[in-house]
Chain A
């Protein structure tokens, strides 16, 4: 565990208690069973917002608490443990970061208070295909008069079914720019996609959406800004994965300590002990990289992009391994829908794909490292 200050410790403990008591996996199961299109429960998200979590990183002047990304990472980890479905990552981390990093005073004034209070749900719309690849953006924002006209499609937009604000990456004359697009703007349409994790990953179409000039976030050549926002999304996702992995590990360990075969508790078998020792080791390594990346954001370190790719690649590999072993070590019961293990496996793969899979981040890590 990284060294926490008093506020961070309180925040983590509060999140842990709340997730365990108010948003256990059974709550996610109920949500899945009722096939909610939004992919989360409004009243649950309101509770999270009331506790201030949507505003953890936002400046105090816009209704936030300025606790930093490490603080929010702790909450994402704890809620990741119980698969709590909410737009906290997409809105409270990614959208808020986008405004904080690239927003003018007026843009911040317009959007940050709502995002920080949880009344507005924001999300980043980058990818247009099944794999994360910002280089393949084809959506276009053409200058018209004072403003822009946006056209294109975005695939698998997290919380896209409920978003009030899309932060859309599109080609401009200068490069890739980011645009603040209200969800109810004319020309915006969304189609739900039913995915294994029962969460929202919408297909969103932008058909000749007219935008005023102040919809542009930052510069028309905003690739560097997009990268910064994406790094925060990657690190936040890795924090959620850390919670998911830790819980999957704990569930497996508990199971091995209770299940008996051949007249022995499974945890007595050395073949299983060594697999668990390996998983424990990998998760500890993952924790080190994720926590270091969260701290790197708050310290605004120069090697943040390397740390982000390191954390996401390690998180992906570890989560992949852990989720497979979760099923295997549980045996038949892990295959049943009545048991929670499957939820973790399904969410794991979604998160692995989100904002870059392991090979994407290995490639980026190497290029950033000069080889």
Chain B
């Protein structure tokens, strides 16, 4: 059977042809490998004309958010079609230009909780990758105990007056909008929290980048002084913020665990690096047997993690993250951190260079990603909080607090 005959009988194959044609027309081969997965938090605004054209094309189709409803600018694809799209993009080495917190976290949450007007207004720009969102959750006094947050939103009739401070605002210095948890009542801890959407250009919003141990400043402190927020920007009901905010965190945890994308982040295998730096014995084994054993343990854990991520994805056929996402985050971050530590150990002093001469580029980037990676078991709910969640929600071990 020829390809066109196949397409006539199988709508998925027809769709595959459509995707191929689209990719051939819009994804310039010069873009291969030019993906910057961290662009949403690193503020990389410079885009080549090819990249800009690719982003526009994907945004128009809604294929950056393939399974979101078409009416809000998503791709409106079935799971089977999205899989085909993914396969064909991988084949062409094309990357998704639509990303960031809007896609990973806010969009799914809005689809679930927002009013029709809010969906119409906020989701399409996310699908086109036009608006950068940042997260206003943590405060100086509210980290793991997020519900003790104090940033307050007073009811002033047609608007809320927001006063307070947020911290660890990812990409706050580049963000256009912020989704924030604010306190609308001091009478109840959890029920006094609401979920607000704020325009970062509003008078009274001030942002200061925080310099991290890695030298980068992906997070900010954000100060709100008498910031007026129209009431139409409240998502859900007043007091429903904790429920909505927690749901959003589940999306965040699923994404932060790396999931199936972990393989893509991994680069050369730790074993190959060890062979290169340390050498092998006459039987081809890594010459340092103690290190070798730890590499094996790490490899096995990484494989187990990827198989688990795969299993969770296969199970979640009906869509939406499940409570098991807490497991993925802890294991995924542990695997990534362990990998960084092993690479550093393998490189020895060469893995501890800060900048300048005497170090290879991959050595310097190993140092920086090692330092940056320490954040992963802290943000989005620390490893300890994840364990609380597992014990409480999955194992039903009652609240100790």
Binding site for B on A (CB under 8 A): 1-3, 253, 256-257, 265, 267-270, 272-274, 276-278, 280-281, 284-289, 291-292, 310, 313-314, 362-363, 365-367, 369-371
Contacts and interface: CB of A to CB of B under 8 A. Distances in A.
A310 B391 contact: no
A81 to B, nearest CB: 18
Given A273-B388, A362-B293, A371 B275 contact: yes
B397 A276 contact: yes
B400 A362 contact: no
B300 A280 contact: no
A285 B397 contact: no
B387 A362 contact: no
A270 B285 CA distance: 43
Nearest 9 A/B pairs, CB to CB: A273-B391, A288-B307, A277-B390, A277-B387, A285-B304, A371-B271, A267-B397, A288-B308, A274-B387
Interface string B273-309: 0110000100011100000110111011101110110
Interface in B345-401: 384, 386-388, 390-392, 394-400
Nearest to B391: A273
B303 A257 contact: no
Given A277-B390, A285-B301, A369-B271, 14 more contacts: A2-B314, A267-B395, A267-B398, A269-B400, A276-B390, A277-B388, A280-B394, A281-B330, A281-B331, A285-B331, A362-B300, A366-B295, A371-B280, A371-B295
A289 B388 contact: no
B324 interface: yes
A188 B286 CA distance: 44
A368 to B, nearest CB: 11
B297 A362 contact: yes
A276 B390 CA distance: 9
Interface in B34-80: none
A310 B397 contact: no
A362 B294 CA distance: 10
A287 B307 CA distance: 9
A363 B293 CA distance: 8
B292 A371 contact: yes
21 contacts: A2-B314, A3-B315, A253-B397, A257-B397, A268-B400, A269-B400, A280-B327, A280-B395, A284-B324, A285-B301, A288-B307, A310-B304, A314-B300, A365-B296, A366-B299, A367-B285, A369-B271, A371-B271, A371-B274, A371-B284, A371-B285
Nearest to B305: A285
B201 interface: no
Contacts of B327: 280-281, 284
A251 to B, nearest CB: 13
A289 B304 contact: yes
Interface of B: 271-272, 274-275, 280, 284-286, 292-293, 295-297, 299-301, 303-305, 307-308, 310-311, 314-315, 324, 327, 330-331, 384, 386-388, 390-392, 394-400
A186 to B, nearest CB: 43
Contact of A265 (B301, B308, B398): B398
A334 B305 CA distance: 32
Contacts of B397: 253, 256-257, 267-268, 272-273, 276
A365 B300 contact: yes
Nearest to B315: A1
Contact of A274 (B315, B331, B384, B399): B384
Contacts of A287: 311
Given A257-B397, A267-B398, A371-B295, A313 B300 contact: yes
A107 to B, nearest CB: 36
B299 A365 contact: yes
A369 B269 CA distance: 11
A288 B301 CA distance: 11
Contacts of A363: 296
A83 B280 CA distance: 44
Contact of A370 (B271, B297, B384): B271
B304 A314 contact: yes
Nearest to A274: B387
A370 B338 CA distance: 21
Nearest to B398: A268
A247 B307 CA distance: 22
Contacts of A1: 311, 315
A279 B160 CA distance: 46
A61 to B, nearest CB: 33
Nearest to B314: A3
Contacts of A289: 303-304, 307
Contacts of B384: 274
Given A267-B397, A277-B395, A314-B304, A2 B286 contact: no
Contacts of B300: 310, 313-314, 362, 365
Contact of B304 (A273, A276, A288): A288
A369 B272 CA distance: 10
A296 B115 CA distance: 47
A274 B275 CA distance: 37
A314 B305 CA distance: 12
B301 A277 contact: no
A3 B396 CA distance: 25
Nearest to A289: B304
B387 A273 contact: yes
B383 to A, nearest CB: 9
Given A265-B398, A365-B299, A286 B304 contact: yes
Nearest to A2: B311
Kindly name the residue among A268, A276, A277 whose own CB sees the greatest number of chain B CB atoms within 10 A. Answer: A277
Contacts of B400: 268-270, 273
Contact of B390 (A257, A280, A285, A313): A280
Given A268-B400, A288-B308, A276 B330 contact: no
A1 B324 CA distance: 12
Contact of B395 (A3, A269, A276, A310): A276
Contacts of A256: 397
Contacts of A273: 387-388, 391-392, 395, 397, 400
Nearest to A291: B311
B291 to A, nearest CB: 11
A311 B162 CA distance: 54
A258 to B, nearest CB: 12
A288 B303 CA distance: 9
Contacts of B331: 281, 285
Contacts of B296: 362-363, 365-366
Nearest to B386: A277
